[in-house]
Structure 1
Amino acid sequence: MSVEARRRFDRLILPLVDDGFRLARWLTGSATDAEDVMQEACLRAFLALDRLIETNVRAWFLTIVRNACYSWLAKHRPGINLSSELLQPRDRSLLERGGAAAEPMPSPEDMLIAKDEGERLAGAIGTLPLAMKEVLVLREYHGLSYREISEVSGVPIGTVMSRLARAREQLLASFRRTADET
């Protein structure tokens, strides 16, 4: 490993590791599995760094993370058909909500409400088919544009828009059902 390669990796990739981890956690449904995926993704990124054109490093790295997730899922959960948009993910524990509320000193009641809403959202996202979950997380949690999501996922922009719309519709339907039950 050359010193220059290490410096370039530290400068370009290390600031993106948290974004990659969040994507991997959402796609695998587990922080532990996401750590395994991120080790592989960082190794792949380091080995391919000499071929990187520094125009959109974030999309490039998230593409590597995505592909590493799919490889990991295919190896460790072979019963999952990754190409099916109709696939419902296996039961997963609720995922931690990423990020803290920006309000100064929330009350304990506000904190409980926010935690409950975060768990409901994470649970609803967890029920989405993998392809829809992927575009939703890339758009809403990572702030990628449709074009960047298209680059990361390898599908046309129209498909990204369609998946995102269907994901949002399913989330709204899930929240409506929950509201009707209470």
Structure 2
Amino acid sequence: MIESTKTKRFQAVVLPHLNSAFNLACWLTHSRQDAEDVVQEAYLRAFKFFDGFHGEDGRAWLLTIVRNTFYNWYQENHSQHRGPLFDEEFHSFEQTGAAALARADDNPEHLLMQKDSERLLQQALGALPLEFREVMVMRELEELSYKQIAAIVGIPIGTVMSRLGRGRRLLAQILAPADRE
């Protein structure tokens, strides 16, 4: 059976960004299961409307759909969602890919300190308000440009920069030792 041109193009332009889509959805939902649902729905929508995509940045287009799908999901489920704001199992050190880096260093003390720092950073990032967390994840973890983030979120570049600055300050406050105050 010969695949359609749309399917081939979709696989080439959108499918390679599955990890980015899942990463963003995980940080937005705080749940692997919910993130899987959001990403699945986002990919269905992306395929359905793929004929209307004429741009070059499939990643930004897909992440826009993931973000919009998340907000639709959140509106439908937020009154039912009473889970923890931070899922320790999901955001564990081993789930981040940093475990591969840690394996390169066999110093137990260094590994423990690195693991603790990673956990604290993930908790702090997860504690940020959603509007700051989403731009921080897109910029710092997904390495998107300000222009791409602005297009995905639907805000001016200046607002992206402002949210990143405020998000970074909030992150620093969260991570600052309590005895410094």
TM interval, shorter chain, is 0.7 to 0.9
Give the secondary-structure state (helix, strand or coil) at the position aligned to 2:177.
Answer: helix
AA paired with 2:146? Answer: Y
How far residue 66 of structure 1 moved from its aligned partner, in angstroms, is: 0.5
More divergent stretch after superposition (112-121 vs 98-107) = 98-107
Distance 1:103 1:115 in 2: 8
Please identify, of 114-123 and 98-107, the stretch whose mean Cα deviation from structure 2 is larger: 98-107
Flag structure 2 segments of 5+ consecutive residues without an equivalent. Answer: none
- The match for 1:85 is none
Which residue is 1:86 aligned to? none
- Residues paired across the two proteins, number: 171
Q: Does 1:106 align with 2:105?
A: yes
Alignment of 1:135-146 (within 5 A): 135-146=135-146
TM-score by length of 1: 0.86
Could you list the runs of 5+ residues in structure 1 that have no partner in the other structure? 81-88
Deviation at 1:69, TM superposition (A): 0.8
CA positional deviation for 1:79: 7.8
Matched residues, percent identical? 42
User: TM-score if structure 2 supplies the norm length?
Assistant: 0.86
- Equivalent residue runs for 1:16-31 within 5 Å: 16-31=17-32
After superposition, residues 10-49 of structure 1 pair within 5 angstroms as: 10-49=11-50
User: What residue is the counterpart of 2:86 in the other structure?
Assistant: 92
RMSD between superposed Cα atoms in Å: 2.1
C-alpha separation in 1, matches of 2:79 and 2:45: 22
Q: Residue 13 of structure 1: CA displacement?
A: 1.3
Q: Deviations over 1:113-172 (max 9, x none)?
A: 222111101110111110000000000001111111000000111111111101000111
Separation in 1, partners of 2:80, 2:153: 21
The CA distance in 1 between the partners of 2:24 and 2:174, in whole Å, is 22
